[in-house]
């Protein structure tokens, strides 16, 4: 069975007992580590993945406590980064790095819960950088001073990395162990699986759909991206979904030949048609669909002739199409064109969702379109 490594790091926590914190999740899983536990290198576990097979731990002490050449115990950002990348090997691990600013916030949350973190009452470097208003390359820093100290006007600050500031550093690293997400999902029914994956990253959801414990979708279901499923394969693990809403635009490339491109009609072929339209600068409705994003998914395309036909065939199972009104309001573009007939460079295929009628229409019409994606 395929092993799946989910690298989602949750930044929200809830207290579960005196021993630490645990990430919020839709179902209770059995994990080797929990937030607040001692990690494999003796430090604090800051986060664990949903599947419980990867996490992030902070070292049990600061980098400068282990740095014999710097008795002042503070380092510049570059000194800390260079030593972590090339020299620091606590517990024989060579993958330590600067923490992100969010990981420093988690350490403070854990500290505020009453667990020992060994953080000093001072400022700490993060590995999160940006260019400030003066275009100086800067790193965010985090204050671990007590609330009553005058220095605590804001926990999150920044310092230019070339300015020579010396601060404390708490190394962190990602760790993994072998696990199989299907061991958790196999005990869930199909609807519970959908609830489970709602808080996973898009890449992790795709991994699950390629596994033996994939979610089964049916025509008419809400799809992974929140649209309408209108085609599925034999086991329901993969298919096509129409977006939950329409967009509008012109096909464009009026009187322009695409030199044999964008002629495909089959299922799954709208994507290549759309890429052809963009390549030939037919940047009307194709560009609108290419920019379309919903629920984090941005891999939409203009459906082919066959894909739009199948949407209409399933119109009673999938919803939110414009089926009433004037003809100009119920026409939907496909990505399939035709360059065979006389004057055909003026036209591409449409379908009328009032009655299913399909024909060629002038590319300059401002018709509806329904973005489509594969899953």
For residues 312 and 356, is the Cβ–Cβ distance under 8 A?
Answer: yes
CB atoms within 10 A of CB 188: 16
| Structure confidence at residue 287 (pLDDT) | 95
Q: For residues 179 and 195, which has the higher predicted lDDT (pLDDT)?
A: 195
Does 16 have pLDDT greater than 70? no
Where exactly are the structural domains of the chain?
13-176, 247-374
Average pLDDT of the chain?
Answer: 86
| Structure confidence at residue 17 (pLDDT) | 30
pLDDT-derived band at 340, boundaries 50, 70, 90: confident
Is 92 exposed, middle or buried, given 0-12, 13-18 or 19+ CB atoms closer than 10 A? exposed
| Structure confidence at residue 1 (pLDDT) | 36
3-state secondary structure at position 279: helix
Mean pLDDT check: name the lowest of 66-70, 101-105, 331-335: 66-70
CA separation (Å) from 310 to 103, 214, 230, 231, 319?
Answer: 48, 24, 7, 8, 13
Q: DSSP assignment, residue 325?
A: S
| Structure confidence at residue 63 (pLDDT) | 84
3-state secondary structure at position 112: helix
Tell me the average pLDDT across 125-151.
90
pLDDT-derived band at 179, boundaries 50, 70, 90: low
Tell me the average pLDDT across 134-144.
95
pLDDT-derived band at 20, boundaries 50, 70, 90: very low
Tell me the average pLDDT across 119-135.
94
Nearest to 19 by CA among 40, 45, 57: 45
Does 25 have pLDDT greater than 70? no
- Looking at domain 13-176, does it have CATH number 3.10.100? yes
> DSSP string covering 159-213, please?
EETTS---BB---EEEEE----THHHHTTS-HHHHHHHHTTS-HHHHHHHHTSTT
3-state secondary structure at position 98: coil
The per-residue pLDDT for range 69-108, each reduced to its tens digit, is: 554 568 999 999 999 998 888 888 999 999 999 999 999 9
CA distance 106 to 147: 17
Percent of the chain residues topping a pLDDT of 70 = 87
The alpha-helical segments, DSSP class H, found in the chain are 77-86, 101-112, 182-185, 190-197, 202-209, 270-279, 285-291, 305-313, 327-330
pLDDT-derived band at 14, boundaries 50, 70, 90: very low
CA separation (Å) from 357 to 42, 287, 352?
Answer: 68, 25, 5
The per-residue pLDDT for range 299-326, each reduced to its tens digit, is: 999 999 999 999 999 999 997 899 998 8
């Amino acid at each position: 069975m395929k092993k799946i490594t989910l690298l989602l790091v949750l930044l929200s926590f809830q207290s579960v007992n005196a021993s630490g914190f645990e990430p919020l999740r839709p179902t209770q899983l059995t994990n080797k580590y929990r937030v607040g536990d001692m990690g494999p290198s003796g430090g604090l576990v800051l986060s664990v993945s949903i599947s419980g097979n990867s996490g992030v731990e902070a070292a049990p002490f600061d980098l400068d406590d282990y740095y014999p050449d710097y008795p002042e115990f503070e380092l510049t950002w570059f000194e800390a980064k260079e030593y972590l990348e090339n020299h620091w090997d606590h517990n024989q691990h060579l993958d330590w790095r600067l923490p992100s600013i969010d990981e420093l916030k988690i350490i403070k949350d854990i500290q505020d819960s009453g667990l020992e973190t060994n953080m000093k009452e001072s400022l700490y470097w993060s590995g999160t950088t940006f260019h400030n208003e003066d275009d100086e390359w800067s790193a965010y820093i985090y204050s671990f001073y007590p609330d009553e100290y005058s220095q605590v006007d804001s926990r999150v600050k920044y310092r230019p990395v070339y300015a020579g500031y010396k601060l404390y550093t708490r190394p962190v690293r990602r760790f993994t162990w072998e696990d199989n997400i299907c061991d958790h999902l196999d005990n869930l029914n199909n609807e519970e699986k959908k609830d489970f994956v709602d808080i996973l990253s898009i890449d992790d959801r795709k991994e699950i759909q390629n596994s033996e414990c994939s979610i089964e979708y049916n025509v008419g279901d809400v799809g992974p991206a929140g649209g309408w499923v209108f085609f599925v394969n034999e086991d329901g693990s993969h298919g096509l979904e129409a977006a939950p809403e329409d967009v509008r635009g012109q096909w464009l490339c009026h009187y322009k030949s695409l030199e044999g491109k964008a002629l495909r009609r089959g299922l799954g072929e709208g994507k290549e048609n759309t890429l052809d339209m963009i390549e030939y600068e037919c940047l009307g409705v194709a560009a609108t669909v290419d920019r379309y994003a919903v629920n984090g998914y941005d891999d939409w395309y203009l459906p082919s002739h066959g894909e739009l036909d199948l949407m209409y065939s399933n119109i009673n199972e999938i919803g939110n199409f414009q089926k009433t009104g004037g003809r100009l309001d119920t026409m939907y573009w496909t990505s399939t064109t035709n360059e065979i007939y006389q004057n055909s460079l003026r036209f591409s295929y449409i379908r009328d969702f009032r009655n299913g009628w399909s024909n060629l229409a002038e590319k300059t019409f401002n018709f509806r379109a329904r973005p489509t994606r594969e899953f």
